[in-house]
Structure 1
Amino acid sequence: MNLELRSIDKTNFYEICQLQVAINQLNHVDSNAISLAEANFMSFPWFKGIYADNNPIGFVLVNADTVSGKFELWRFMLDKSQQSKGYGRIAIDLLKSALVKEFGISALYTSVVTGSDSPQGFYESCGFESTGHLVEGREIELRLSL
């Protein structure tokens, strides 16, 4: 298996937009089409497609705020057919390496809603830890030291 992060452009954006999470995950992550649209209004968007053996399997969007130095993982998804195969942890490792190489960062943040089907356990298994802060009063902020 060859997993890699790839730039998204006019040649592959549609196949990235076709990827979908499982129904029970819909309240935890927006569609890739919405995420790509939102990226156009972000000051510091950094996004990639996640590919396994040249097939699109996921998407990642980071708010790469080079002014404040705080890098936030806004979207991370794997298609419902590609979950529970170990790709998520590998993709997080690829993401960490890419951000350190390109920006020299020392931490990556994300936030999660708690409850059933929350991705919090996944992120914690990748090394993220709670900061004790709430984002927008309802999401737990997590930090990954790089």
Structure 2
Amino acid sequence: MKTEKIRLKELNLDNWYECCQLEVSENQKAFLEANSVSIAQSKFEPTLKPYAIYLEDKMVGFLMYNTVLEELDGYWVYRIMVDEKFQGKGIGKKATELMIAEIAKLPDAQKIIAGYHPDNVGAHHLYSSLGFIDNGDRFGKEMAVVKYMNR
């Protein structure tokens, strides 16, 4: 798979519904809110930026991050998912790299934080492969991992 064909596109009137149709595998559903919930959340929290992940012209995933500093003095990744039909091809990793590059442009972008359930093995592999570190921070049932931008 040519991951250079992966791009992010901000959700808009033309693509939001298609994004709601994307699905993760059955064993991942316990770890993620539906995309429709995330999209609704972004309308009430305007600092959240929702993006569709495209492989060429095909929407294959969704991600969302906050554009203001939050807990642990970092920018938080709120969601990242790849449709079950497109998983295991490096799309999630490439999309996360693109998101990190966007977050790096924000003011005082020294840390990016991602929270996920400790049993979510896929999230663990993704974030650790991109240099996120577990410092032991926990928020409810989620663990928080940190990517230090200046290292």
Structure 1 segments unaligned to the other structure (5+ residues):
none
Residue of structure 2 aligned with 1:73, choices 77, 93, 97: 77
TM-score by length of 2: 0.87
Q: CA deviation at 1:133?
A: 1.0
Structure 2 residue 148 is the aligned partner of structure 1 residue 145: yes
1:100 is aligned to 104
Structure 2 residue 8 is the aligned partner of structure 1 residue 5: yes
Provide closer, same or farther for how the CA distance between residues 52 and 9 of structure 1 changes in structure 2, counting only shifts above 3 A.
same
Provide closer, same or farther for how the CA distance between residues 17 and 103 of structure 1 changes in structure 2, counting only shifts above 3 A.
farther
Tell whether the 8 Å contact from 2:118 to 2:143 is kept in structure 1 after alignment: yes
Q: CA deviation at 1:121?
A: 2.2
Structure 2 segments unaligned to the other structure (5+ residues):
none
Aligned residues: 145
Tell whether the 8 Å contact from 1:28 to 1:118 is kept in structure 2 after alignment: no
Task: Judging by fraction of residues, say which structure has more helix.
Answer: 2
Structure 2 residue 86 is the aligned partner of structure 1 residue 82: yes
Structure 2 residue 50 is the aligned partner of structure 1 residue 44: no
TM-score by length of 1: 0.90
Name segments (4+ residues, structure 1) moved above 6 Å. none
Q: CA deviation at 1:131?
A: 2.2
Supply the RMSD in Å over aligned alpha carbons.
1.9
Separation in 1, partners of 2:19, 2:13: 11
Separation in 2, partners of 1:140, 1:47: 22
Provide closer, same or farther for how the CA distance between residues 61 and 116 of structure 1 changes in structure 2, counting only shifts above 3 A.
closer
Q: Deviations over 1:64-115 (max 9, x none)?
A: 2158853100100000011000111111111111122354612210111112
